[in-house]
């Protein structure tokens, strides 16, 4: 009987295929097949999809309305530049409307003086260069003809076709004039928009605070004040670098006895506002004016100004703007390169204030970067912000948005003054030794009063 039972078991094993149920190898094969055929499913909620669509639409509108966005940014830069002067006059009991009129009138007078001082001189130099071009070209061809290496260039200079050159210059001048007209129109729009923003400041600020929850008004007021500080620091940095290159250019041109030194120096200071091309715009007229002094003077001015431009971009700009905007030198250089590469001249102009604004927002909103540990100062700052927001909500209960905005700005200004003042609590030891960290002492209370 046992032999028959063993024979039946062998027959069952032979008849059972390797992939049948109950086979231990079948389970492993199924698991491997499940791993290979398992599909990864991505489920996107309707809210996330709507957010992605809104972000894409916002980017598309930003690209399409980029000139309008630039006008708005320039207008806010003008507002941030003029606001300290207007506030200074208001503190001396000058009406706000009159103070705005005085500041913008002074700005217009300075711009007109700079234009009157530089434009006629540059036009006269261009006319003189056109008149002297044949004689200058003949002398240059004569010098180049002395060497076998530059002799082909001399032959080309003697047989320049003025018709094609004139047509090319005319087309380029026409395209440049159209761009200049657009730039002037956008600039005028930015100035009038800035004037409107400054005149109607309270109503616009009240409208902004009306759409933001009151629990965030204190932080919003502080962000707006910091933005104004950043813009002012950026403009001060621009003024310092422009003044330095103007003084350096004037001293160099006077030492080389180049005519119209003052006008050329003023133009160099104005052109220095534009990154990258500002150097060529300022050096070009200097070289043209130095042609009457000989090739040696031309070479000296060209080399010295190129060296100064390199020194300014590598040393002065990171130090001046980094100190004014509280940015590391590496961030300044990277922001300039990234802005110029992505958006050209306008990107390079806006790179530094935008970088400073981003760093400020990260700090103000308490954004913790990857790998960054929360500091004790951040915890204390957050607690102080919560107390300030509670006090603000108590003081502005039932108050209109414009008055609430003014109260938020005043509280933020007082808070900034307290933060900038030296801590008196550190100088007065607690006799009981039980003063908690971050708790205001009697010295703090007296200083706040």
Residue range 254-298, pLDDT digits in tens: 999 988 888 888 888 888 887 667 777 888 888 888 877 878 888
How confident is the model over 213-229, as pLDDT tens digits?
Answer: 877 888 888 888 888 88
* Residue ranges making up the domain that contains 301: 214-368+401-412
240 or 346, which is more confident: 240
CA distance 9 to 2: 11
pLDDT value, residue 28:
58
Task: Count the Cβ atoms, other than its own, within 10 Å of residue 233.
Answer: 21
Res 41 pLDDT > 70: no
How confident is the model over 166-187, as pLDDT tens digits?
Answer: 667 667 767 777 877 888 888 8
Query: Is residue 153 included in any domain, yes or no?
Result: no
Give the chain's mean pLDDT: 75
How confident is the model over 64-113, as pLDDT tens digits?
Answer: 887 888 888 888 888 888 888 888 898 888 898 899 999 999 988 988 88
Query: Is residue 331 included in any domain, yes or no?
Result: yes
Query: Is residue 269 included in any domain, yes or no?
Result: yes
Q: How confident is the model at residue 305 (pLDDT cuts 50, 70, 90)?
A: very high
How confident is the model over 1-24, as pLDDT tens digits?
Answer: 555 555 555 554 444 454 454 555
For the record, the structure tokens of 173 come out as 């001048």
Res 447 pLDDT > 70: no
Q: What stretches of 242-300 adopt beta strand conformation (E)?
A: none
In this prediction, residues 22-39 reach a mean pLDDT of 54
Query: Is residue 70 included in any domain, yes or no?
Result: no
CA distance 318 to 333: 7
In this prediction, residues 359-378 reach a mean pLDDT of 64
Query: Is residue 48 included in any domain, yes or no?
Result: no
Query: Is residue 26 included in any domain, yes or no?
Result: no
pLDDT value, residue 433:
42
Query: Is residue 109 included in any domain, yes or no?
Result: no
Res 234 pLDDT > 80: yes
CA distance 96 to 312: 38
CA distance 38 to 292: 82
pLDDT value, residue 432:
43
**Number of domains making up the chain:** 1
Across 99-108, 307-316, 439-448, least confident range: 439-448
Res 127 pLDDT > 80: no
Across 21-30, 374-383, 384-393, 423-432, least confident range: 423-432
pLDDT value, residue 446:
40
Query: Is residue 182 included in any domain, yes or no?
Result: no
Helix axis angle, 217-255 to 277-289, nearest 10°: 20
Residue 380, CB-side half-sphere exposure with 13 Å CA sphere: 9
Q: pTM of the entire structure?
A: 0.65
Closest by CA to 275, choosing from 214, 218, 216, 332, is 332
């Amino acid at each position: 009987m046992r032999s028959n039972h063993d024979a039946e078991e062998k027959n069952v094993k032979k008849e059972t295929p390797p992939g049948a149920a109950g086979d231990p190898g079948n389970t492993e094969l199924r698991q491997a097949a499940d791993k290979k055929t398992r599909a990864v499913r991505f489920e996107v909620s309707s809210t996330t999809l709507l957010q992605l669509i809104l972000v894409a639409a916002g980017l598309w509108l930003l690209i399409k309305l980029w000139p309008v966005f630039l006008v708005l940014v320039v207008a806010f830069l003008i507002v941030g530049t003029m606001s300290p002067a207007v506030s200074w006059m208001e503190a001396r009991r000058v009406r706000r409307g009159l103070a705005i009129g005085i500041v913008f009138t002074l700005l217009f007078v300075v711009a007109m003086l700079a234009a009157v001082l530089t434009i006629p001189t540059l036009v006269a130099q261009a006319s003189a260069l056109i008149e002297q071009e044949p004689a200058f070209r003949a002398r240059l061809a004569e010098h180049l003809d002395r060497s076998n290496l530059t002799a082909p260039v001399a032959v080309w200079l003697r047989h320049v076709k003025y018709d094609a050159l004139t047509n090319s210059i005319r087309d380029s001048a026409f395209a440049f004039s159209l761009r200049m007209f657009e730039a002037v129109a956008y600039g005028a729009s930015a100035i009038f928009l800035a004037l409107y923003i400054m005149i109607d400041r309270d109503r616009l600020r009240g409208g902004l605070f009306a759409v933001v929850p009151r629990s965030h008004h204190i932080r919003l007021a502080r962000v707006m004040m910091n933005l104004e500080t950043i813009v002012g620091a950026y403009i001060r940095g621009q003024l310092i670098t422009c003044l330095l290159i103007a003084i350096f250019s004037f001293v160099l041109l006077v030492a080389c006895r180049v005519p119209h030194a003052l006008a050329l120096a003023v133009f160099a200071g104005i052109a220095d506002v534009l990154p990258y091309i500002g150097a060529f715009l300022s050096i070009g007229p200097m070289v043209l004016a130095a042609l009457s002094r000989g090739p040696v003077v031309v070479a000296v001015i060209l080399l010295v100004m190129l060296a100064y431009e390199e020194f300014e971009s590598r040393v002065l700009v990171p130090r001046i703007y980094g100190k004014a905007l509280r940015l590391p030198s590496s961030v300044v250089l990277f922001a300039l390169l990234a802005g110029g590469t992505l958006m050209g001249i306008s990107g390079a102009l806006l790179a530094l204030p935008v970088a400073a604004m981003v760093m400020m927002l990260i700090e103000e909103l308490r954004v913790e970067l990857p790998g960054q540990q929360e500091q004790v100062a951040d915890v204390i700052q957050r607690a102080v912000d919560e107390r300030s927001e509670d006090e603000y909500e108590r003081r502005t209960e039932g108050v209109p948005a414009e008055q609430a905005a003014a109260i938020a700005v005043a509280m933020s200004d007082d808070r900034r003054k307290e933060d900038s003042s030296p801590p008196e609590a550190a100088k007065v030891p607690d006799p009981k030794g039980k003063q908690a960290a971050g708790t205001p002492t009697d010295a703090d209370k007296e200083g706040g009063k």
